[in-house]
Amino acid sequence: MIFRLYTKLRDCRDWVFAKIDYLQSESAKWQRAWGILKGTFRLAMEHKQVAIGLVFAGSVGGYAAADAIIDGYSFSRGDAGIYEAPLDAPIYHSGSDNTLRIDLGTTPVGEITIEDVTIGTVLTGSTLPSGETSVVFIGGLSSASTYLEVGHLVIDRWRCTQLKLDDVEAYELNVKFNASDGQSIAPVAGTPRARGISGGNRADAMTTSGGTYDQVKIQAPSTSTNGKVDKLTLRNLYTEGGLCLIDRVKAGIIDVIYGEYGAGDGFAAKDFTITASTTYKSFNNVDNVEVSISPP
């Protein structure tokens, strides 16, 4: 009698738990679907022409973007293309364009990490895109009066022919342990504010490791809105063929550490430059040395 009662109670318990598990599973699926719809709608509102191309595939860009999604190209996998948070798939991809580019919109991004990549003419047969002079570009667009706002920018172990920081604000600027074939480090004291990026429903972190590209570019929107990233880490970039440029950036903390910069043209030509248009509240300039360095 007691055993039969126990068996019925157990079966009832298992039935209830099974229904709860099913409902939780369905809820998670609906939450995921809603997140995807919100991200797609946000993309459509910020870039209507791209959205139209995605829906109708009625242009070259539309076909390329549709193919990118269908074929599974992704930022996390290290595929070249034009990316926009919160989507891991590129909004544009072409087999003839080997640029890795992130266009930031109105949605803040919690974290972007790019590491262990080779860029530019250090690769046989590689060329910069037409009209470009920077092999790496991080910043805003003067044509649109936009800036890239960053809580913490990490420039770690770059190998560039030239590195230049221009029109940059940093509450804390740390320039440490770099070697260069000529340097001019001349930021000026100012009143930049401490900065961190919030924004509530921020886009997921974007991370990629390994890859070879003609160019890497992270830029603010081509509108009046600044791009925003809470932590931007660019580590172990090996480059040749153009300038590595940080321009129109407003940051809480900037770390420029363990880099090597040189064109092999002597100390008189400054291959590592922080211009007087860069301002700081706190500046740590530690063990940055001039040594003979040739391009990769």
pLDDT for residue 158 is more than 80: yes
pTM over 0.85: no
Report whether pLDDT(62) > 90.
Answer: no
Tell me what the mean pLDDT of segment 53-66 comes to: 43
In a domain? residue 23: no
Distances (CA, A) of 267 to 1, 187, 196, 263, 273: 95, 19, 37, 10, 12
- Residue given tokens 């992704």 in the structure block: 74
In a domain, 104, yes or no: yes
* Confidence grade of residue 81 (pLDDT, cut at 50, 70, 90): very high
User: What pLDDT, in 10s, does the model give residues 182-214?
Assistant: 999 999 999 999 999 987 777 778 999 999 999
Q: Yes or no: say if 288 and 183 are a contact pair by the CB < 8 Å rule.
A: yes
Region 138-164: mean pLDDT is 96
- Into how many domains does the chain fold? 1
Measured distance CA(102)–CA(207) in Å, rounded: 12
Structure tokens at 90: 């590129």
Give tens-digit pLDDT for 83-113: 986 678 999 988 888 999 999 988 899 999 9
| pLDDT for the residue 4 | 65
Dihedral angle sign, alpha carbons of residues 37, 43, 47, 49? negative
For residue 10, tell me if it sits in a domain: no
CA distance 101 to 137: 9
Question: Within a domain: residue 19?
Answer: no
DSSP state of 124: T
Q: Taking a C-beta distance cutoff of 8 angstroms, is the pair 166, 277 a contact? A: yes
Q: Is residue 141 part of a domain?
A: yes
In a domain? residue 56 = no
- Confidence band for 49, pLDDT divided at 50, 70 and 90: very low
Q: Given this model, what pLDDT does residue 63 score?
A: 44
Question: For residue 262, what are the contacts with CB-CB under 8 A and spacing of at least 6?
Answer: 161, 179, 180, 181, 182, 271, 291, 292, 293, 294, 295
Choice among 18-32, 56-70, 145-159 with the minimum mean pLDDT: 56-70
Which residue has 């649109």 as its token pair? 144
CA distance 166 to 248: 7
120 within domain boundaries = yes
Which residues 6+ apart lie within 8 Å of 15 measured at CB?
Answer: none
pLDDT value, residue 22: 66
Which positions ≥6 away from 154 have C-beta within 8 Å? 231, 232, 233, 234, 235, 255, 257
**Mean of all residue pLDDT scores within the chain:** 84
Helix axes 48-56, 60-71, angle to 10 degrees: 70
Percent of the chain topping pLDDT 70: 78
Residue 215 has pLDDT above 80, yes or no: yes
Give the residue numbers spanning the domain of 191.
100-296
pLDDT digits (tens, 9 = 90+) for 231-273: 999 999 999 999 999 999 999 999 999 999 999 999 999 999 9
**Tokens (6 digits) for 226:** 């600044």
pLDDT of residue 50: 42
Q: How far apart are CA 150 and CA 233, in angstroms?
A: 10
Nearest CA-CA partner of 112 in 63, 157, 151: 151
Q: How far apart are CA 91 and CA 111, in angstroms?
A: 19
Domain annotation covers residue 154: yes
The pLDDT value given to residue 123: 80
